[in-house]
Structure 1
Amino acid sequence: MAAGGEALEPPVVLFDFDGVLIHGDAFYLFMRGRYRRSPWRVLLALLCTPLLLLQLPFSRRLPVRTLVHVALLGLGEKRYQQVAAEFAAQLARRSRLFCRDGLQALRRHQVAGDRVLVVTGCEHALVSGILRELGLTGIEVLASQLRAGWSGMRVLRHNVGRRKVELLAQHGLKAWRTAYSDSVHDVPMLRPATEVVVVNGTPALCKKVEKALGRAVTRAEWF
């Protein structure tokens, strides 16, 4: 108990998702599945090639967003939630896709009473569904979000880089004890952490993160 009889807040622990709890990129796998099941979407994406090439010099994200919009064309919010849940269930059955050591570390933090958040660029419904299918409950999820548009679901917010910190601040968090990541793009999220854990990072990546943070990081090899 803290002074005055107030309960201490539990330590806050952040996990990135892609590359930390799952090997690879879950939303990419979802998009790839959408295109594989719908050849007409592939054709439409090919027809969009001139637009993609025009977008590329300005931003790498713009072409990606266009391809996401094509993959989700015609999906309303209710149908999208259903499709994402179905894919999450399929993915969760592919146990080799998931990082056993990462999931065990997350569960240890939960058992210890820590406040665990998954802060990810993956889409919210998809990552929430995957965690649910894996039997992981009591986890707060801060993720990318889509919105319903006239032609289907569209990107509302891509939760990467500084946006992760902004979303955490909106969630009432400005500092945390531990943060797990595999990407230099997460430096804004890693900076406020007391302990930074770089998962499966190459020596070059770890050096980049340490240089950006101005301090040493913990290195973890997870399988």
Structure 2
Amino acid sequence: MNQAVSSAAAATPRVVLFDFDGVLVRGDSFSGFLRVRVRRQAWRLALLLPLLPALPLLLLRRRGRRILLHCTVRLLLLGTSLSRYRALAESHARVQALRRGFFVPDAVSALRRHLLRGDRVIVVTGCEEHLARALLQAVRLDGVELVASRLRRSWLGAVPAVHNVGREKLRQMEAHGVEPPFACVYSDAGADLPMLLAAERAVLVNPGESLRARMQARLGSRYAEVEWS
């Protein structure tokens, strides 16, 4: 019986999670998409003006920042159908993929090595799923599992449905059928602490001094770091 259990455990691939923004790609990819939208349709900035008086209060608390982000996405995608958004996201991804230095070569290579070892690799990101998928396709990683933020249809256009950040990443992983502990997690963000705490090996990517000190204190012996360029 014990031998059967050991054999089953050996046959189960290790689960390795990669954050996306700041790890596989430089910067915030969805924010980059929205900035391009605003440059091409500057009138959308006027839609954000009613938020200005409440801005100081919204920025004070995490919940306020979530509300601000939710409202900003709604307004900047106002009147954009889900199918139109997907077409725009795919077009944007093709352009971004051509930018030198947009992808982090060391990170992409590390992900490929995990795949070659037989690990189950999942990209877990706050980026919207169609944009993230299109970007992964650009570097021939379209077969990698993806758990991401999602939009939904509404009469206003495409609106946020799931914002996959912080503890929400663990909830979305559970919905995806994968539960802790994870063998390894790569991230560059303190917001991913819940996911990092659920890992046997928590790898911080290019951490600054402040993040390093904070994460080492919380993660203890499971803490590791890499410098990727």
TM-score greater than 0.5 by the shorter chain: yes
Aligned partners of 1:206 and 1:217 also within 8 Å: no
Consecutive aligned runs of 4 or more in structure 1 exceeding 3 Å deviation: 4-7, 50-58
Please name the residue that 1:157 is paired with.
162
Letter in 2 for 1:86: S
1:191 aligns with 2:209: no
**Residue 106 to residue 150, structure 1, CA distance change in 2 (3 Å):** same
1:3 aligns with 2:9: no
1:49 aligns with 2:55: no
Aligned partners of 1:197 and 1:220 also within 8 Å: yes
Structure 2 counterpart of 1:168, from 162, 173, 183: 173
Deviations 1:85-128 (A, max 9, x none): 11111111113111110011011111111111000111111101
Please name the residue that 1:37 is paired with.
40
Hey, what's the Cα distance between the residues in 2 that align with 1:171 and 1:45? 34
Structure 1 counterpart of 2:147, from 142, 156, 176: 142
C-alpha displacement of 1:47: 4.6
Please name the residue that 2:67 is paired with.
62
Secondary structure of the 2:151 match is: strand
Deviations 1:165-203 (A, max 9, x none): 111112222221110000111111011211111000012
Deviations 1:44-70 (A, max 9, x none): 223543455664456112122222112
Task: Please provide the CA RMSD for this pair.
Answer: 1.8
Aligned partners of 2:153 and 2:159 also within 8 Å: yes
Structure 2 counterpart of 1:75, from 51, 63, 80: 80
Secondary structure of the 2:118 match is: coil
- Residue-pair matches, total: 222
Using the size of structure 1 for normalisation, the TM-score is 0.92
C-alpha displacement of 1:210: 1.9
Letter in 2 for 1:38: Q
C-alpha displacement of 1:156: 0.9
Hey, what's the Cα distance between the residues in 1 that align with 2:58 and 2:217? 32
Secondary structure of the 2:221 match is: coil
Hey, what's the Cα distance between the residues in 1 that align with 2:157 and 2:165? 23
1:90 aligns with 2:95: yes
Which consecutive residues of structure 1, in runs of 5 or more, have no partner in the other structure? none
Hey, what's the Cα distance between the residues in 1 that align with 2:226 and 2:57? 40
Which consecutive residues of structure 2, in runs of 5 or more, have no partner in the other structure? none
Hey, what's the Cα distance between the residues in 2 that align with 1:66 and 1:192? 31
Does 118-127 or 56-65 show the bigger shift?
Answer: 56-65
Secondary structure of the 2:146 match is: strand
1:25 aligns with 2:28: yes
C-alpha displacement of 1:9: 1.1
Please name the residue that 1:120 is paired with.
125
Letter in 2 for 1:200: N
Aligned partners of 1:56 and 1:62 also within 8 Å: no
Aligned partners of 2:19 and 2:124 also within 8 Å: yes
Please name the residue that 1:210 is paired with.
216
Letter in 2 for 1:207: A
